[in-house]
Amino acid sequence: MNILVIGSGGREHVIAQKFVQSPLVETVYCAKGNPGMKQDDIHLVAIEEDNHPELIQFAKEHHVDWTFVGPEVPLLNGIVDDFEAAGLKIFGPRKSAAMIEGSKDFAKTLMNKYSIPTARHQTFFDFKQAKEYVQQKGAPIVIKADGLAAGKGVIVAESVEQAIEALEDMLEGNRFGESGAKVVVEDFLAGEEFSLLAFVREQEVYPMTVAQDHKRAYDNDLGPNTGGMGAYSPVPQIPKEMIDEAVRTVLIPAAKGMVKDGCSFTGILYAGLIATDEGPKVIEFNARFGDPETQVVLQRLESDLAEIITDLLDEKQPSIKWKEGGFSLGVVVAADGYPGEYQKGVSLPAFSSSDETRVYYAGVEEIDNKLVSSGGRIYLVEAEGTTLEDAQKKVYDLLETKETTGTFYRNDIGSKALK
């Protein structure tokens, strides 16, 4: 069969690579993809993610059996609705269900209605009211722009002054445009973070192995929030009971609640959780695979990803097996300055593929047959190991041998689990 993947980052690179490896699959297309994917036999399609009519035409002309959507923006633009209306198979939530990621207020309302554990919150449009609420509550407190902000619309304020500054920025300064015109203020949750993803088909929930992302830009969780600087899977310090509880109290009620509310979810549901003393609590939902979590989680999948998605689309029971021992760990290499302003066109070292390590590309372009950087997060190096130390060592040993001028990476991905 032929598969089309929508997206262009490291997440889409690993998803498409898994499809390429399936004996069921002939050709994997990726729109628009990136030139780093070509080494893995992924065919790039020069159509923009938001050009649904051309993507639909391409899928028809190239006998694409089904399409897989990586990022949130096309989902919220209704790409699934449009493909379905054209009679094409596509895996991902419709626009009405993708709102679980597209609006924090939508997600909070769902959680309150179905008693899904999350931080207490209040939504504000008005700066003065929000300011009074924060003064009453005290710090630490968390301020979130309501809409999409690529992981950067969240301020964990250590002081009331910092919280008020963030509110002023979003509600009066229009810093996040539309997505900050509405702000969610929520209680600070203390505990370790983990990402729990699942394949979901309406009421049915098939959880994946958990991962931990590293959202802050610099070592020891310092610096600004980013899209994610590295991840590993599984997460040994999160006990199985905590994960089982999260499936029971978060994923299942969310899937069932959305069916009840007439916006049933089929696709990848991602819960960002904090393991608090009172059990797992949600800090965010995403309507898609996480980046960089996917680059490590999918290494742990023993079953054929293309077969799982085919079965889900065909209303069959999927067979999903995860590896028993070992770990996968991935480190993101980003452009100096990211997540602020950064330079483009940095030349990148060559990597030869090996059994031990893999490279997934994101913000890259090709100039004179050479890959150079074009984005903030440029590539991720991933390795598996029998222990987490082993996986971590393989990644950092490889990175140390490479020329990384103009770029940076965190040196402590996975270290929290090793303390």
Provide the binding-site residues for ligand AMP, judged by CB under 6 A: 119, 142, 144, 151, 154, 156, 186, 188-189, 193, 215, 225, 272, 283-284
- Do residues 360 and 379 lie in contact, with contact meaning Cβ atoms separated by under 8 Å? yes
Residue 103 CB, nearest approach to ligand AMP (Å): 12
Which of ligand GLY, ligand AMP, none interacts with 193 (beta carbon under 5 to 8 A by kind)?
ligand AMP
- Angle (CA) 285-289-292 rounded to 5° is 105
- Residue 297 or 320: the one with the smaller Cβ distance to ligand GLY is 297
- The residue (of 154 and 364) whose beta carbon lies closer to ligand AMP is 154
Give the nearer residue to ligand GLY in terms of CB position, either 221 or 307.
Answer: 221
Residue 130 and residue 146: Cα distance in Å, rounded?
14
| Closest residue by Cα to residue 394 from 346, 358, 347, 351 | 358
Q: Return the number of the residue (92 or 406) whose C-beta is nearest ligand GLY.
A: 92
CB atoms within 10 A of CB 158: 12
Backbone angles phi, psi at 222, to 5 degrees: -105, 165
Six-digit token pair at 220? 């020891």
Instruction: Provide the token pair at 249.
Output: 């109290």
Strands (E) across 287-345 are located at: 327-335
Which of ligand GLY, ligand AMP, none interacts with 17 (beta carbon under 5 to 8 A by kind)?
none
Closer CB to ligand GLY, 151 or 207, in the complex: 151
Q: Please, what is the minimum distance in Å from the beta carbon of residue 299 to ligand AMP?
A: 22
Give which of ligand AMP, ligand GLY, none residue 225 binds (C-beta under 5 to 8 Å, depending on kind).
ligand AMP
Q: Which of the choices ligand GLY, ligand AMP, none does residue 154 contact, using the CB cut-off of 5 to 8 A by kind?
A: ligand AMP
φ, ψ (nearest 5 deg) of residue 304: -85, 115
Query: Where does this chain bind ligand GLY (CB under 6 A)?
Result: 151, 213, 228, 286, 290-291, 293
Distance CA 8, CA 6 (A): 7
Rounded to a whole number of angstroms, the minimum distance from the CB of residue 281 to ligand AMP is 8
From ligand GLY, ligand AMP, none, interface partner of 291 (C-beta below 5 to 8 A by class): ligand GLY
Calpha distance 152→376 (Å, rounded): 13
356 touches 326 (CB < 8 A):
no
Nearer to ligand AMP, 188 or 206 (CB): 188
Q: Is 125 helix (H, G, I), strand (E, B) or coil?
A: coil
Q: Which does 382 bind (CB under 5 to 8 A by kind): ligand GLY, ligand AMP, none?
A: none
205 touches 198 (CB < 8 A):
yes
Calpha distance 363→72 (Å, rounded): 17
| Angle at which helices 160-167 and 127-137 cross, to 10° | 160
Give the nearest distance from C-beta 75 to ligand GLY in angstroms.
Answer: 13
Comparing CB distances to ligand AMP, the nearer of 76 and 156 is 156
When CB distances are held under 5 to 8 angstroms depending on the partner's kind, the choice from ligand GLY, ligand AMP, none that residue 283 binds is ligand AMP
Q: 33 vs 330, which CB is nearer to ligand AMP? A: 330
Query: Which of ligand AMP, ligand GLY, none lies near 156, with the C-beta cut-off 5 to 8 A by kind?
Result: ligand AMP
Which DSSP helix (H) or strand (E) runs through 111? helix 104-113
Question: Using CA atoms, how far apart are residues 5 and 12, in angstroms rounded to an integer?
Answer: 7
DSSP conformational letter for 402: S
Residue 114 to residue 110: CA distance in whole angstroms: 6
- The least distance separating ligand GLY from the CB of residue 149, rounded to whole angstroms, comes to 11
Q: Give the nearer residue to ligand GLY in terms of CB position, either 12 or 293.
A: 293
In the bound complex, what is the minimum distance in angstroms from residue 335's beta carbon to ligand AMP? 21
Q: Which does 76 bind (CB under 5 to 8 A by kind): ligand GLY, ligand AMP, none?
A: none
